[in-house]
Structure 1
Amino acid sequence: MLEKRILVVEDGITMRMFYQDVLGKAGFAVEEAANGVEGLEKALLGHFDLMIVDINMPKMDGYELVTRIRREPSLRAIPVVTISTEAQGEDATRAYEAGANLYIVKPADPASLVEMARLLTGARA
């Protein structure tokens, strides 16, 4: 079975390293982008089974990135998980309205993150 590929779009290097470590150890191939513009470019050029998108980023925030992903026919079917430090209900509502499949509040629990990635990509444990 081919390795499932995840694109992590996150401006914080520490968080990107966290995702790389946790998801990489679980058997996923993880690529990174440091902002929404870079994330959209990488998504358009590659094939990904899941995208994890931070909300608060420079150049293009997560809401705009998810909106653009859902408008792009070649990307529309990719599951997108948004993640943020914002715990207010309206932030999750905005993410879902943009087209997110799931909204997680930081910090993400490593075991839950891996389980969510497996469920959304169809990867085996």
Structure 2
Amino acid sequence: MSQSLKHTQKRILVVDDAATVRMYHRSILEGAGFVVDEAINGIEALEKALTQPFDLYLVDVNMPKLDGYGFLRELRRQGIPQAPAVMISTEAQRQDRIRAYEAGANLYLIKPIKPQDLLTHCYLLLNLPA
């Protein structure tokens, strides 16, 4: 089975209120063979995660209705299979990283992210060959 066919089994949810960021991440991830869904805020993301859990979550911090920290805290409280989550933000302060990890993030990245860096982190968190 080819590497990209293996990736098609993996579902990633991109959670960001900015359409341009969602499209950017989607194009990179789908280009690598992942199945991608999107949510515009933490509430929509939680509804999707509870319907059908994902293999990886890419989560923005600043969003309306329910921010990334709140989404991850709620997600981690649910009795569903848990998957890694990457918090992606323009916030670069130490306390932002700490809040993300306390909320349940596995990794914290600063925007903008280079395509190869995004894929490398996804492969590592999904335990896939790069």
Alignment match, 1:99: 104
**Residues 56, 83 of structure 2: 8 Å contact kept:** yes
Alignment match, 1:122: 127
- TM-superposed CA distance for 1:109, in Å, is 1.4
Q: How does 1:23-38 map to 2 (within 5 A)?
A: 23-38=29-44
1:59-93 deviation digits (Å, cap 9, x = unpaired): 00000001011111204x21010011001110011
Q: For the residues of structure 2 that align with 1:18 and 1:101, how far apart are their CA atoms?
A: 21
Task: Please list every run of 5 or more consecutive structure 1 residues that lacks an aligned counterpart in the other structure.
Answer: none
- 2:33 counterpart letter in structure 1: G
Task: Please list every run of 5 or more consecutive structure 2 residues that lacks an aligned counterpart in the other structure.
Answer: 1-5
1:6-28 deviation digits (Å, cap 9, x = unpaired): 00111000000001100110111
- TM-superposed CA distance for 1:47, in Å, is 2.8
Alignment match, 2:70: 64
- 1:106 counterpart letter in structure 2: K
Pairing 1:89–2:94 present: yes
1:39-69 deviation digits (Å, cap 9, x = unpaired): 0000111131000110000000000001011
Alignment match, 2:3: none
Cα RMSD for the two superposed structures:
1.1
**Residues 4, 123 of structure 1: 8 Å contact kept:** no
- 2:65 counterpart letter in structure 1: K
Q: How many residues align?
A: 124
Identity of aligned pairs, percent? 52
**Residues 53, 80 of structure 1: 8 Å contact kept:** yes
Alignment match, 1:111: 116
